[in-house]
A and B are shown apart, each in its own frame.
Chain A
């Protein structure tokens, strides 16, 4: 049979495809619907938090930080309750990471504050002596992309039925109408911060990346 296959490239290719496609079907499909279910009471990310998640992605925090607490005592002692599948139901993409050069962040909102994050992102060694994490000062001046975060909320609401309110609607006009709500949320974060440039920017209606990122990190609980 193998000799025959080697002389018939088409059937050879079909054979290879069947053999490799098999495992994916068997392992991914059976639990797909179950794994997509949200935990009861889980709220979707706010637009500001989504913008923060996008900063988290843009600056690739995932390169060094995980968001997955494994069910070991050493991990639950250090980071809190182990992670549950339903907690991730609105995470597109999943941000579990694969390397812990720094600590896990899945419940960082439980034990770190806005103030701590502000100091840490400005100069990590000021709060964690010996840290090898770089400073992310540019997040204090770069303005977060709220429009894209809003577009993401609209997309997941309409395509994946993520439960957002009726004020999340397609179109630039709907976005303009929604913007003040995002700014109000940002102001609450900025009130706990001390960086003058950040405070000025928020007062002028702009949201620096650091504000969105902190909103997201505070949400991780």
Chain B
């Protein structure tokens, strides 16, 4: 049907999002490292006056890494592989090109607004939905634009059957759209009060327990549809491409995809165990969290088995190292989550450092590693140069792996220590420790975690340097590499 001549894909937008991935990664993780250090050394709270306290910076860290680094990474890779699996170039459609560029511009506006407003303390405080209503409206614009772009490209595709990665990106689009819209229902007070007070302020449509339910229906599924669904989509594209191996099982990918879609949304309530939400909701959330192991491990095992017979690549290619360790961390994280969702475990784990520990073995070990491997794989293909340094990737891999292990092990110990101390009673049944005892005891673990942050940051700087040198100074390629990415 079509000619055999390779299509000339257009990577303008993929490149733009690649740049923002690097920039937001550096900014977001630098703030993260700073706030980790603040917990061990509180004097660091006073570097920026009112704007530099742990509490002001914490949402800035989460928002910049999630909506800056991760989303940029998801879009950089999306604008790259969508064209390739649909066998259509963005250059073929003026509309697709316009939507892509418009998407990027509005995204930059939001990201800037987000950083400024969170620094100023303008926030709704709902986790991962802190942006106030004017930015929320722009988020809807950006999201719809991205969806339109995706469906425009799908509309003119040459490859009729949608590849697995595309399923996951469509699901990301729909899931976040639904959840974000409902969770951010808010009434701007300025307009509802006849023009009194700040124009940016709003109140939530829901109160108390209901607000908590809707928030964690969103909060947990932001994890689902930003940290998991598109990232699984990425690994389904990049692992086969980089290794030259076909995906192990189509049936397993089907089961994992539809299973994940159905089960994930139930699990939000596990953030609210032992709270005032109805008991039956808590129990359902607990049960579905455990069931969630199946579709999660389904994808991860499918990826590991894709390497069957080709495990030697693990020693030869550092990008494969990143990809394989990422799916391994995904397995760890998706086993740890359900354990924490068991009510008796949650009674100890909730509110402690075990939770950020769990989050970070997922986001650093799984999401960040996937973003790195995706961008490394893309670099020779979009910049038409070989990767600047293989040994730098190797070094980055080991430094960051050490960082992730230090992070979650220290936080496991810290969390369980604190959880046990909160409930410890003496022989007469009185509480054994005052609250401050349970804080000071954590100092060594906070120091280790800060060190982990510094190590991860060093690896990130290596990544940024390697990418920039690849763009600017690496050897030019005459033709596109087929599988394994060329590196010096």
**Residues on A close to B: CB < 8 A?**
2-3, 6-7, 9, 12-13, 16-17, 19-24, 27-28, 30-32, 35-36, 54, 57-64, 66, 68, 70-72, 74-75, 77-78, 83-85, 87-103, 128-136, 138, 142, 145, 147-152, 154-156, 158-160, 170-172, 174-175
Bound together, the chains give a CA A90 to CA B122 distance in angstroms of: 21
Look across to chain B and name the residue whose beta carbon is closest to the beta carbon of A155: B192
Does B352 touch A at the CB level, under 8 Å? Answer: yes
Do the beta carbons of A130 and B436 come within 8 Å of each other? Answer: yes
Other A-B pairs beyond A31-B281, A128-B436, A160-B207, 7, CB < 8 Å: A13-B174, A16-B170, A83-B276, A88-B209, A100-B352, A103-B435, A158-B192
Q: Among the listed A89, A99, A174, which residue makes an inter-chain contact with B351, where contact means beta carbons less than 8 Å apart? A: A99
Bound together, the chains give a CA A145 to CA B174 distance in angstroms of: 38
Bound together, the chains give a CA A215 to CA B196 distance in angstroms of: 22
Look across to chain A and name the residue whose beta carbon is closest to the beta carbon of B418: A100
Q: Answer whether A155 and B203 are a contact pair too, CB < 8 Å, given A7-B162, A85-B276.
A: yes
Bound together, the chains give a CA A87 to CA B174 distance in angstroms of: 35
Do the beta carbons of B194 and A27 come within 8 Å of each other? Answer: no
Question: CB-CB < 8 A to A149: which residues of B?
Answer: 197
Bound together, the chains give a CA A151 to CA B197 distance in angstroms of: 6
Does B178 touch A at the CB level, under 8 Å? Answer: yes
Question: CB-CB < 8 A to A63: which residues of B?
Answer: 54-55, 58-59
Question: CB-CB < 8 A to B187: which residues of A?
Answer: 155, 159
Do the beta carbons of A70 and B125 come within 8 Å of each other? Answer: no
Does B56 touch A at the CB level, under 8 Å? Answer: yes
Question: CB-CB < 8 A to A91: which residues of B?
Answer: 207-208, 211
Chain A nearest Cβ from B172, distance in angstroms: 10
Q: Which of B205-235 contact A (CB under 8 A)?
A: 206-215, 217
Q: Among the listed A21, A28, A57, which residue makes an inter-chain contact with B213, where contact means beta carbons less than 8 Å apart? A: A28
Question: CB-CB < 8 A to A134: which residues of B?
Answer: 38, 42, 45-46, 53-55
Do the beta carbons of A132 and B422 come within 8 Å of each other? Answer: no
Q: Answer whether A152 and B217 are a contact pair too, CB < 8 Å, given A12-B162, A59-B121, A63-B58.
A: no
Do the beta carbons of A151 and B431 come within 8 Å of each other? Answer: no
Does B274 touch A at the CB level, under 8 Å? Answer: yes
| Total CB contacts across the A-B interface at under 8 A | 267
Do the beta carbons of B201 and A148 come within 8 Å of each other? Answer: yes
Bound together, the chains give a CA A64 to CA B53 distance in angstroms of: 12
Do the beta carbons of A147 and B196 come within 8 Å of each other? Answer: yes
23 contacts between A and B (CB under 8 A): A7-B162, A20-B261, A21-B178, A24-B179, A31-B278, A35-B208, A35-B210, A35-B278, A70-B274, A78-B435, A84-B276, A88-B209, A94-B212, A94-B215, A95-B125, A99-B355, A100-B352, A129-B436, A135-B46, A147-B197, A150-B196, A152-B197, A152-B203
Q: Among the listed B59, B198, B217, B350, which residue makes an inter-chain contact with A24, where contact means beta carbons less than 8 Å apart? A: B217
Look across to chain A and name the residue whose beta carbon is closest to the beta carbon of B192: A155
Bound together, the chains give a CA A133 to CA B433 distance in angstroms of: 19
Look across to chain B and name the residue whose beta carbon is closest to the beta carbon of A150: B196
Chain B nearest Cβ from A177, distance in angstroms: 12
Q: Among the listed A27, A74, A89, which residue makes an inter-chain contact with B217, where contact means beta carbons less than 8 Å apart? A: A27
Bound together, the chains give a CA A100 to CA B91 distance in angstroms of: 52
Bound together, the chains give a CA A199 to CA B124 distance in angstroms of: 30
**Residues on B close to A: CB < 8 A?**
38-39, 42, 45-46, 49-50, 53-56, 58-59, 121-127, 151, 154, 160-162, 167, 170-171, 174-175, 178-179, 182, 187, 189-190, 192-198, 201, 203-204, 206-215, 217, 254, 258, 261-262, 264-266, 268-269, 271, 274-278, 281, 284-285, 288, 347, 350-353, 355-356, 422-425, 430-431, 435-436, 439-440
Question: CB-CB < 8 A to B204: which residues of A?
Answer: 92-94
Do the beta carbons of B436 and A172 come within 8 Å of each other? Answer: no
Chain A nearest Cβ from B37, distance in angstroms: 11
Chain A nearest Cβ from B167, distance in angstroms: 7
Look across to chain B and name the residue whose beta carbon is closest to the beta carbon of A171: B194
Question: CB-CB < 8 A to B59: which residues of A?
Answer: 60, 63
Do the beta carbons of B213 and A130 come within 8 Å of each other? Answer: no
Look across to chain A and name the residue whose beta carbon is closest to the beta carbon of B179: A24
Question: CB-CB < 8 A to B197: which residues of A?
Answer: 145, 147-152
Do the beta carbons of A36 and B207 come within 8 Å of each other? Answer: yes
Bound together, the chains give a CA A11 to CA B268 distance in angstroms of: 26
Do the beta carbons of B201 and A6 come within 8 Å of each other? Answer: no
Look across to chain A and name the residue whose beta carbon is closest to the beta carbon of B198: A148
Chain B nearest Cβ from A173, distance in angstroms: 9
Look across to chain B and name the residue whose beta carbon is closest to the beta carbon of A132: B42
Do the beta carbons of A93 and B196 come within 8 Å of each other? Answer: no
Do the beta carbons of B275 and A96 come within 8 Å of each other? Answer: yes
Q: Answer whether A159 and B151 are a contact pair too, CB < 8 Å, given A12-B167, A59-B56.
A: no
Do the beta carbons of B439 and A16 come within 8 Å of each other? Answer: no
Q: Answer whether A2 and B54 are a contact pair too, CB < 8 Å, given A35-B277, A102-B435.
A: no
Look across to chain B and name the residue whose beta carbon is closest to the beta carbon of A28: B213
Q: Answer whether A20 and B201 are a contact pair too, CB < 8 Å, given A35-B209, A89-B208.
A: no
Bound together, the chains give a CA A126 to CA B49 distance in angstroms of: 20
Bound together, the chains give a CA A22 to CA B175 distance in angstroms of: 12
Question: CB-CB < 8 A to B196: which residues of A?
Answer: 147-148, 150-151, 154, 170-172, 175
Q: Among the listed B194, B207, B254, B265, which residue makes an inter-chain contact with A23, where contact means beta carbons less than 8 Å apart? A: B265
Question: CB-CB < 8 A to B266: which residues of A?
Answer: 23, 27
Bound together, the chains give a CA A180 to CA B419 distance in angstroms of: 46
Top-10 shortest CB links A-B: A88-B208, A148-B197, A170-B194, A134-B45, A23-B265, A58-B121, A151-B197, A151-B193, A85-B276, A60-B55
Bound together, the chains give a CA A143 to CA B468 distance in angstroms of: 46
Do the beta carbons of A159 and B192 come within 8 Å of each other? Answer: yes
Q: Answer whether A64 and B436 are a contact pair too, CB < 8 Å, given A9-B170, A100-B351, A155-B192.
A: no
Do the beta carbons of A16 and B171 come within 8 Å of each other? Answer: yes
Do the beta carbons of A132 and B439 come within 8 Å of each other? Answer: yes
Look across to chain A and name the residue whose beta carbon is closest to the beta carbon of B43: A134
